[in-house]
Amino acid sequence: MQITVSIPSQWPDAVQCSQDEFAQQAKMAMVCKLYEMGKLSSGIAAQIVGLERVAFLLQLSHYGVAMIDLEHDELLADIANA
């Protein structure tokens, strides 16, 4: 499946990158948001953007997405079970 999005030609210049770099960043931003929303696993998200899973997880912070998003109670339970 392919999704086509029309953008103004000046947007890549506005963020100081090429059209290809802009397209890759937009794709990564979309996948990061879907991962954050729990719609994609990290493995599937990584495949979509053509990265290894660990590389994808390490990129999340650049998009303001937490690698691990646990509620306070979940974190305490994990610590207790460690």
- The secondary structure of residue 40, as a DSSP letter, is S
- Considering the chain, what is the average pLDDT of its residues? 88
25 contact partners, CB below 8 Å, separation of at least 6: 15, 17
Secondary structure of residue 49 in the 3-state scheme: helix
Provide the pLDDT confidence category of residue 72 given band limits of 50, 70 and 90. low
Q: For 8-31, what is the mean pLDDT?
A: 92
Q: What is the pTM of this model?
A: 0.77
